[in-house]
Amino acid sequence: MGRLRGAGVSAPETSRFASFDGTHLAVHTLGEGPPVVVLHGLFSSAQMNWIKWGHAEALAAAGFRAIMLDFRVHGESDAPRDAAAYPTGVLVRDVAALAEHFALEPGGFDMVGFSLGARTAVHTVAHGVLEPRRLAICGMGVAGLAGWARRADFFKRVIDEFDTIRPGDPVYAARTFLKSQGVDRAAARLLLGAMDDFDLASLANITMPTAVICGDEDRDNGSAEDLAALLPEARYVEVPGTHMGSVTKPELGSAIAGFLAA
């Protein structure tokens, strides 16, 4: 298991800002130095993916400033129940608002994403919304980009059948995690409908050095190796663990920090 933050470790600073539509989003920062935008996975948070297991600390120790967003509906950010708060591409627009809030310049920051955060980072960069110096895509493969509709249906079933899902059901682990994080299910259902599939041809637009980092037992989003092969300047980096397990291990933070510092 990864290392929990212990005594003597500086706590991240938390603040909030208004996104493009006025939704208030929480952002957590740790460290000093070149900024790194860090995006968490679905139904998770900056605390659960990046802070709890020491990955933010690893970035700070490597001389970076980790800027960790809580997506809307997640962590300490707002979870509006109005469908108008979930236009297509809403998370990309939230990341753009984050970059504007911190006055990040093209090429003047790095970007890291895990799972949903990786999908969002890929959409953001491939569509020319932001231009990081380096990009780390974690826990993501080809199917997780091009086949989002299938993944969305999986998570919609978790929400729609939440009270009747029992141990042994293929979605039970996702249901347990969703419950543990206290996610507003009505808002999460709206968010799932605000994402679309990704045209793999657009991967050609991601021209900066990229690391595709994935657990050796992680097949949740298809082949990460195949994804790396489709990117112009990417390398595949394998770390231990399943999709849920890899994010709890120190090797993930070490791989991210090592790539960004190279």
pLDDT of 3 > 50? The answer is no
Per-residue pLDDT averaged across 167-179, rounded?
94
Residue 217 confidence (pLDDT): 98
DSSP 250: H
Residue 149 confidence (pLDDT): 86
pLDDT of 1 > 80? The answer is no
Structure confidence at residue 2 as a pLDDT band (50, 70, 90): very low
Amino acid at 22: G
Q: Tell me the pTM.
A: 0.94
CA nearest to 211, candidates 56, 52, 34, 36 = 36
Question: Tokens 């809307």 — which residue?
Answer: 72
CA distance 57 to 30: 7
Residue 5 confidence (pLDDT): 39
CA distance 132 to 17: 21
Fold classification of 13-261 is Rossmann fold (3.40.50)
H/E stretch holding 57 = helix 55-61
In sequence order, what E strands does 23-69 have? 24-30, 35-39, 65-69
Mean pLDDT for all residues in the chain: 94
CA distance 144 to 119: 8
pLDDT of 4 > 80? The answer is no
Angle at which helices 116-126 and 90-101 pack, to 10 degrees?
Answer: 80
| Model confidence pLDDT, tens digit, residues 5-61 | 333 457 899 999 999 999 999 999 999 999 999 999 999 999 999 999 999 999 999
214 forms bridges with which residues in the sheet?
238
Domain-wise residue ranges, the chain: 13-261
pLDDT of 139 > 90? The answer is yes
| Model confidence pLDDT, tens digit, residues 65-116 | 999 999 999 999 999 999 999 999 999 999 999 999 999 999 999 999 999 9
| Model confidence pLDDT, tens digit, residues 148-158 | 888 899 999 99
As given in the structure block, the two tokens for residue 103 are 């006055």
Q: What percent of the chain has a predicted confidence (pLDDT) above 90?
A: 92
Q: What percent of the chain has a predicted confidence (pLDDT) above 70?
A: 97
Residue 9 confidence (pLDDT): 52
